[in-house]
Amino acid sequence: MRDEPRPHDDVAALIPMLRRVIGARVDDAATADDLVQETLVRVLAAAARVEPGMLEPYAIVTARNVVASLWREQDRHRRNRHRVVDLDLPDSPDQDLLASEERTAVAEALARLTDRERATLLAHEVSGQDTRSLAAEQGSTAGAVAAQLNRTRARLRVEYLLVRENVEPPTERCRPVLLALSGGDRRRQREVDAGRHLLECDVCAQLSQPLMERAQPRDDEVRIPISTDADIVAARQAARELAARLGFARTELTIIATAVSEVTRNIVRFAGTGEVVVELVDRPRRGVQVTARDTGPGIPDVEKALADGYSTYNGLGLGLPGARRLMDEFAVVSEMGRGTTVTMTKWCGER
């Protein structure tokens, strides 16, 4: 640690550059400004730890991560929601008429999507085509397809409610507000001043109820932002705690925690920041699924990184192959310059 204070001027001098970096990635000026501020706060917090001369590259990486985490936030409700419309539907058994009205509403809402949105959504949700192969078909990336699917789902939910309640939005602000609520995107909700609109617009106040209930945090999922050593411990402990609810044996809990420790360390060492999401799954069996994703440089050769003995830092290359041995399912998707996602699952009970 150095004693002389690091002048904040260093950081302030980064602002024009950060505006360019973020402006190139985010269209909306207000959002971009928010992200510049957020980046500055993070850079300031880290400035003392960053080598002189490394501040600018550090700030660029941070800015990119902040933008990426915005996108991730928009992806929040993607995983394991494999129903086209996942609002709570009334499901008393004798209400066939209602059920058929629901189907009609879903069909009509689907018809309001663009052809492309509808095709992609149905390919994914109904035919089970995964985002990677969709991305390959569209000349896009899995992340972009996932984000697009999320937006489509958010829109579908809104259109479905409009059809079901048989209302037309009374103002031009209604749809953007409903979409922001449906996507669970808090930043976007602030941008469109959703809270105020709900006070002012009775239609949206009523329609938004199921959308907001849906956005309640799930209790079978934990999300841990990763940027420091301490977060590695937090991630593995959170995984252990959540998995313990399924009745895993102590040995298995420790195996899960160890695997999480390994993949999380990879984020801290290679990417700087990322997140670990731990969730309980029940299909095809009960288990715990861990997703570790970062927006780091990516792994140039995943096969090689998975090969035992491959050493990427400090003579220590056990991270990925070790975690793979510990878990039942293990997959790595890495894209150069975009980041890496490790998904791994431990099933509960007999194999």
Angle between helices 115-125 and 96-111 (to 10 degrees): 130
Query: Which residue number, 194 or 246, has a Cβ lying nearer to other proteins?
Result: 246
Task: Work out what residue 105 binds among other proteins, Zn ion, none; the CB cut-off runs from 5 to 8 Å by kind.
Answer: none
Q: How many C-beta atoms surround the C-beta of residue 6 within 10 A?
A: 15
For residues 195 and 206, the answer to whether their CB atoms sit within 8 Å is no
Rank residues 201 and 267 by Cβ distance to Zn ion and give the closer one. 201
Nearest distance in Å: CB 225, other proteins? 15
Pairwise CA distance, residues 116 & 151, whole Å: 13
Assess 162 for contact with Zn ion (CB under 5 A). Answer: no
Bridge partners of 344, per DSSP, are: 290, 330
CB distance 262 to 318 below 8 Å? yes
Which residue is associated with the tokens 């060492």? Answer: 269
Tell me the closest approach of the beta carbon of residue 249 to other proteins, in angstroms. Answer: 8
Q: Which residues bind other proteins (CB under 8 A)?
A: 228-230, 232-233, 236-237, 240, 250-251, 253-255, 257-258, 261-262, 265, 308, 316, 318-319, 321-323, 325-326
> Does residue 93 sit in helix, strand or coil?
coil
Choices 52-60, 173-181, 255-263, 264-272 (CB under 5 A): range interacting with Zn ion:
173-181
Q: For Zn ion, give the closer residue by CB, 106 or 201.
A: 201
Site string for Zn ion, 194-223 (x = CB under 5 A): -------x--x-------------------
Q: Taking a C-beta distance cutoff of 8 angstroms, is the pair 205, 198 a contact?
A: yes
**C-beta of 178: minimal distance to Zn ion in Å?**
7
Residue 174 interacts with Zn ion (CB under 5 A)?
Answer: yes
- For the chain, give me the number of helices (H) and strands (E)? 16, 5
Residue 255's binding partner out of Zn ion, other proteins, none, with CB under 5 to 8 Å set by partner kind: other proteins
CA-based torsion, 156, 157, 158, 163: positive or negative: positive
In terms of CB distance, is 145 or 226 closer to other proteins?
226
Q: Which of 107, 31, 100 is nearest to 66 (CA)?
A: 31
Nearest-angstrom CA–CA distance, 225 and 219: 17
Cis peptide before 225 (omega within 30 of 0): no
Say which entry of other proteins, Zn ion, none residue 257 contacts (CB below 5 to 8 A, set by partner kind). Answer: other proteins
Neighbour count for residue 163 (Cβ, 10 Å): 19
Which of Zn ion, other proteins, none sits in contact with 21, Cβ below 5 to 8 A by type? none
Q: How far is CA 17 from CA 24, 38, 58, in A?
A: 11, 14, 12
Is residue 179 within the footprint of Zn ion (CB under 5 A)?
Answer: no
Closest distance between other proteins and the C-beta of residue 292, in Å? 14
Stretch that binds Zn ion, among 39-47, 174-182, 209-217, 256-264 (CB under 5 A): 174-182
Q: How far is the CB of 202 from Zn ion (least distance, A)?
A: 8
Which residues contribute to the site for Zn ion (CB under 5 A)? 174, 201, 204
